[in-house]
Amino acid sequence: MKQVKLPKAFLWGGAIAANQAEGAYQVDGKGISLADLHRSYPEKTNAEIADLQHKGMSLADIQANLSDETGYYPKRHGIDFYHRYETDLALLREMGFQTFRTSIDWTRIFPTGEETEPNEAGLAYYDRLIDAIISHGMMPIITLLHYETPVALTLRYGGWHHRKVLDLFVKYGQVILSRYQDKVGYWIVINQVNLVQFEPFNSTAIPYDTVDNYEAACFQAIHHQFVACAKLVKFAKTINPDMMIGTMMADCTAYPNSCDPDDINLALKRNRMQYFYTDVQFRGAYPQYALNYFAENDIQVDMAEEDVDLLATYPMDFLALSYYYSQMVDASQNTMRPESVTPNPKLKVNPWGWAVDPKGLYNSLSQYWDRYQKPLMIAENGFGMYDEVVDGQIHDAYRIAYLSAHIEQMKQAIYDGAQVIAYCAWGPIDIISCSSAQMSKRYGFIYVDLDDQGHGSGKRIKKDSFDWYKQVIATNGDRLS
């Protein structure tokens, strides 16, 4: 492969989410978010846990989990980043991090989403955190919503398909953008706006048993999220035009199983329904293929005239992308449903069934760049795996192999013209898994001594990948082995 030199301004770092790391769920007036409802299921397989995510939650599930006094809810506790962020950030600085992505938990600022004034204790925490990120020499990248919608808004309005939630989120976003406009240059409004297809409840806050057509309600919720993004772009440009406001996608593009035209066409149509989210947010209108899909599946999206104008006038500034694995479709057995895929026999998978495909990252970055010509940021890329501590050490050569191969493919995409401005490794310190609520699904360069039930010392231990990533950053990606 061509040896590629990255620009000196390229940003190396890592990413976490507030709900997976902070813990302290009853501290300083925090409310209950969607993430706080996810309990641990030690008796279930990884596949069964994934099925629960795909299904979402019923209203009865929510109420049961809110009143449960015996189950363990890992994201309520995280890794206690709320109290330990200073020492954790110091470890990231030791690796040479130039940027750090995290989210602000909506329920720390407006615990129920409807308070008249923001919670000053929550704002004070993020004042300290953002100042600490900067003082450690890192540029903060802040996500406004990373599955942290207040549960109170689900119970009162049924979730994001109600327009009131849109308005309340915009109010929250304006508070945060105003407060940190001079400290944060890159903002991601909503994490993985397309992942409603795999995590519908986390994305939309809609209980599946409260609507007649769940898919239609989810697309209405996504429309409201599109409008919220446009409104916040408009607001941001009035207070500080230099702020970059981005959208974020989880890469879910698919390969055809074969050269059979039916396989190729199914992959094309599936991929277009992935590009739908960015077509709206970058091109400013709903594409005809999406309108056709809605008509064919009894989906009606209520759009105000103001919405249409906002989407056309205020596109997003950049695309943040999470990439972990690729997918494949076979027209003889798969459908337009995003979860309907065929295993790729050419690829190995991790214990959660995620296919390791570095070249898929090249494909994804190249496709998005060719389509939109917008700056790209790798907001998440990582390898979830069971790590073993041996004599106080963690030898994670598998993680180094995964990440080095993906970084190499990122460099090839840059060589071919893609404007990639940052690489954020997912979970640079072990945190609670989003998809499985497991601690044992580890991504970090830093091991945290906690198990799936929260038992352990919480001690931080550097893995072999810690020194490897330090070298990658120091050489600006030149040394990957």
pLDDT digits (tens, 9 = 90+) for 128-186: 999 999 999 999 999 999 999 999 999 999 999 999 999 999 999 999 999 999 999 99
**In contact, 21 and 15? CB cutoff 8 Å:** no
- Choose among 369, 338, 351: nearest CA to 433: 351
pLDDT score of 172: 98
pLDDT score of 350: 94
**Rounded CA separation 348/400 (Å):** 16
Residues near 26 by beta carbon (within 8 Å), at least 6 away in sequence: none
Neighbours of 60 (CB within 10 A): 10
- Name the residue type at position 368: Y
**Rounded CA separation 198/192 (Å):** 11
pLDDT score of 3: 83
**In contact, 64 and 73? CB cutoff 8 Å:** no
pLDDT score of 54: 82
Q: Strands, E, within 23-109: which ranges?
A: 99-103
Q: Identify the band that residue 306 occupies on the pLDDT scale cut at 50, 70 and 90.
A: very high
For 82, the token pair is 């709320």
pLDDT score of 197: 87
- Name the residue type at position 349: V
For 347, the token pair is 């690829």
Query: Is a pLDDT exceeding 80 seen at residue 238?
Result: yes
**Rounded CA separation 217/159 (Å):** 9
> How large is the greatest C-alpha to C-alpha distance in the chain, in angstroms?
64
Average pLDDT of the segment spanning 11-25: 98
Query: Is a pLDDT exceeding 90 seen at residue 261?
Result: yes
More confident: 44 or 312 = 312
**In contact, 94 and 473? CB cutoff 8 Å:** no
For 138, the token pair is 């890192």
Show contacts of 88-93: CB within 8 Å, 24+ apart. Answer: 88/429, 88/446, 88/460, 89/132, 89/133, 89/136, 89/138, 90/136, 91/429, 91/446, 91/460, 91/462, 92/13, 92/14, 92/136, 92/138, 92/428, 92/429, 93/136, 93/137, 93/138
**Rounded CA separation 233/253 (Å):** 27
**In contact, 368 and 274? CB cutoff 8 Å:** no
Locate the domains of the chain by residue range. 11-474
Q: Identify the band that residue 53 occupies on the pLDDT scale cut at 50, 70 and 90.
A: confident
Q: Strands, E, within 324-385: which ranges?
A: 327-329, 376-380
**Rounded CA separation 22/324 (Å):** 23
**Rounded CA separation 42/49 (Å):** 10
Query: Is a pLDDT exceeding 80 seen at residue 2?
Result: no
CA distances from 299 to 166, 194, 195, 218, 341 (A): 20, 17, 18, 10, 23
Report the C-alpha dihedral over residues 416, 418, 423, 427, rounded to 10 degrees: -100
* Residue showing tokens 């906690």: 450
Establish how many alpha carbons lie within 13 A of residue 107's alpha carbon, considering only the half-sphere containing its beta carbon. Answer: 26
**In contact, 81 and 23? CB cutoff 8 Å:** yes
Query: Is a pLDDT exceeding 90 seen at residue 47?
Result: no
pLDDT score of 44: 87
pLDDT score of 209: 96
**Rounded CA separation 405/421 (Å):** 18
What is the pLDDT of the chain when averaged over all its residues? Answer: 97
pLDDT score of 190: 98
Percent of the chain with pLDDT over 70: 100
Which class in CATH covers the domain with range 11-474? alpha beta
pLDDT score of 432: 97
Q: Identify the band that residue 50 occupies on the pLDDT scale cut at 50, 70 and 90.
A: confident
pLDDT score of 391: 95
For 214, the token pair is 């769940």
Q: Identify the band that residue 1 occupies on the pLDDT scale cut at 50, 70 and 90.
A: low
pLDDT digits (tens, 9 = 90+) for 81-122: 999 999 999 999 999 999 999 999 999 999 999 999 999 999
H or E stretch covering 12: strand 11-15
H or E stretch covering 223: helix 214-239
**Rounded CA separation 46/384 (Å):** 12
- Name the residue type at position 34: L
